[in-house]
Amino acid sequence: MNDSYIINDLYCQDLNFTVPLDYQDTNAGSLTIYVREVASKAGVENQLPYLVYFQGGPGFAAGRPTGLDGWIKAASQHYRILLLDQRGTGNSSAVSAQTLRHFASPQAQADYLSHFRADNIVRDAELIRQAHIGEQKWSILGQSFGGFCVLRYLSSAPHGLNQAFITGGLPSLTRPATDVYKATYGRVESKNKQFYTQFPKAQHYATLIADHLKSHHEVLPNGQQLTVEHFQLLGINLGVTGGHEALYYLLEQAFVEVDSAQELSHVFKHQLMSMLDYDTNPFFAILHESIYCQNFASQWSADSVRHDQATQFNYVTGNDFYFTGEMVYPWMFEQFANLIPLQQAATILSEKEDWPLLYDLQQLKDNKVPVAAAIYFNDMYVDINYSLETVAQINNIKTWVSSDYEHNGIRVDGELIFNKLHKLINH
């Protein structure tokens, strides 16, 4: 079967690789890892070197390209690109309640899921590199959580790399998740205030909806009850370009009048569901806090910080309403249909203390691989102070700090951003 095709001048090929679930126990089973190789016509003809893209998340497949545009257009001038569906995502042995229901117990589910962090994603990439190009090196690009993977790669397998690029994804190398969320809540509060300044009626709309949900039983099209805390999750959109506008337009059409009473509209409910992907990408909720864990448990850090130090996010009628961000909470595994079957496994993972170290601080201090990183001053998801703290611990890294973009800058202006980073280390 021919696995090659062309999408608007973008030459594509489907690749599949078999990797161990557990690299310490090759008898524990295997996974299929899917990679889409894309290139310009010139890239194919000239056999340009490879660049591997690590998607943000965790728990999201690599983007599905529509042609030779955006950051891919810029990168294709220098590379053939490998769009990696990280283990558990997309076409790479996808993880969901549906695919996990055959496990005998929640503990078995948790044990399986513990193998899906950045360390094993990078091990997969290294196995693929050796299978695909032997001892040749390649370059890597990581967006958001993909940047966590880049730092892991630099820590554990720098011998496989020519260069590394990071956009919006320089995490702290040592801080626990609690520190991350203490900083995150402050940034989310600031984004809320910016939103309400931009749209003066938005606070009124948001409190009307929240108060309505406190006194009325509203059900979403998928049968789930819509609660105040569920509604607050829409704040994840405040951290991306265009998110403020999308959220406001949703709020302003929330209600319809039925028999002289106010109900939430079907349009509102459908669009709300489309703006949240915890049901379609449950992997994100299950493993989100574990991406920070190194020899310590997460213990539902975001929830603990919210109740102890960020109480303004616990809405009380008469107070200002604040949307939350990308935080994950234990109640989500009681309310989201595709998270409910994974509640016990998620609890086990939140209590897991023996997560291995992700980063080699000495290796990063001695790093020889050229690295270029874009840091967004206004990033709601990744704290700039922690990013700069990390930069100081990595040798041979050059940074570009910009206040022009939100966290999703690479989607908005990818061609410019990639070219900027490439020139930082390729004069």
**Residue in 115, 230, 244, 407 annotated catalytic:** 407
Q: Side-chain half-sphere of 323: how many Cα atoms within 13 Å?
A: 28
Whether 159 and 168 have beta carbons less than 8 Å apart is answered as no
**Residue in 102, 217, 259, 354 annotated catalytic:** 354
Please tell me the distance from the alpha carbon of residue 3 to that of residue 213, in angstroms, as a whole number: 50
DSSP type of residue 277: -
Residues in the chain: 427
Q: Give start and end residues of each alpha helix (H) in 235-355.
A: 243-251, 266-274, 282-287, 301-308, 332-335, 343-351
DSSP type of residue 225: B
Q: How many CB atoms lie within 10 A of CB 121?
A: 27
Is 102 noted as a catalytic residue in this protein? no
Is 354 noted as a catalytic residue in this protein? yes
Three-class secondary structure of residue 316 per DSSP: coil
Q: Residue 220 corresponds to which amino acid?
A: L
Is 383 noted as a catalytic residue in this protein? no
* Omega prior to 58 cis, within 30 of 0: yes
Q: Which residues pair with 34 in a beta bridge?
A: 16
Rg (CA), the chain: 22
- CA–CA distances in Å: residue 44 to residues 16, 102, 415: 19, 42, 20
Q: Which two tokens stand for residue 225?
A: 């009850």
Residue 70 CA, distance from chain mean position: 19
Q: Which two tokens stand for residue 369?
A: 């691989």
- CA–CA distances in Å: residue 390 to residues 166, 231, 301, 394: 13, 34, 21, 7
Please tell me the distance from the alpha carbon of residue 267 to that of residue 220, in angstroms, as a whole number: 11
**Residue in 144, 298, 301, 350 annotated catalytic:** 144
Please tell me the distance from the alpha carbon of residue 85 to that of residue 107, in angstroms, as a whole number: 26
Across 156-168, b (16+ Cβ under 10 Å) vs e yields: bebebbebbbbbb
Three-class secondary structure of residue 240 per DSSP: coil
Q: How many CB atoms lie within 10 A of CB 214?
A: 12
Q: Where in the sequence numbering do the catalytic residues fall?
A: 144, 354, 407
